[in-house]
Amino acid sequence: MSTLTDKLAAKKAGQGETWKPETIGDILEGKVIELGDTITEYGEAKYAHLETENGKVTVWLNSVLQQQFTDEKVEEGDVIAIEYTGMTKSKNGKRAYKSFVVVKDSEDDNSGEAA
């Protein structure tokens, strides 16, 4: 096996599994270890690699997840939870898409509590 083939095998092995939620309420929780862009057979795509209790998981970021990540200011190193909330119809009702809610663990979460 060539050195390049070895590198490809190592890279693929390090990608882990892809999160594919199917049931409303499916939740993935983990630490964001990488946010990035890549080229797929369908064009450009954004992804997040999370380190979970069960190992490394890749999450492909659709436009809903991209917006949720932006709203929550998710960065590498953050601990997050993603919940699949089901299929939602677009405003014009012509297409359906997977919808999610993202929350980030933050030290600010306890700022309003009494000491």
What is the structure's pLDDT at 2? Answer: 55
What is the structure's pLDDT at 41? Answer: 86
For residue 79, name the pLDDT band (cuts at 50, 70, 90). Answer: very high
Tell me the CB-side half-sphere exposure of residue 41, using CA atoms within 13 A: 0
CATH architecture type of domain 15-105: Beta Barrel (2.40)
Answer yes or no: is pLDDT of 32 > 90: yes
Q: What is the 3-state secondary structure (H, E, C) of the chain?
A: CCHHHHHHHHHHHCCCEECCCCCCCCEEEEEEEEEEEEEECCEEEEEEEEEECCEEEEEEECHHHHHHHHHCCCCCCCEEEEEEEEEEECCCCCCEEEEEEEEECCHHHHCCCCC
Answer yes or no: is pLDDT of 10 > 90: no
Q: Is 68 exposed, middle or buried (0-12, 13-18, 19+ CB in 10 A)?
A: buried
What are the residue boundaries of the structural domains of the chain, listed by start? 15-105
71 with 64: CB under 8 angstroms? no
Selected residue with higher pLDDT from 111 and 8: 8
Answer yes or no: is pLDDT of 15 > 70: no
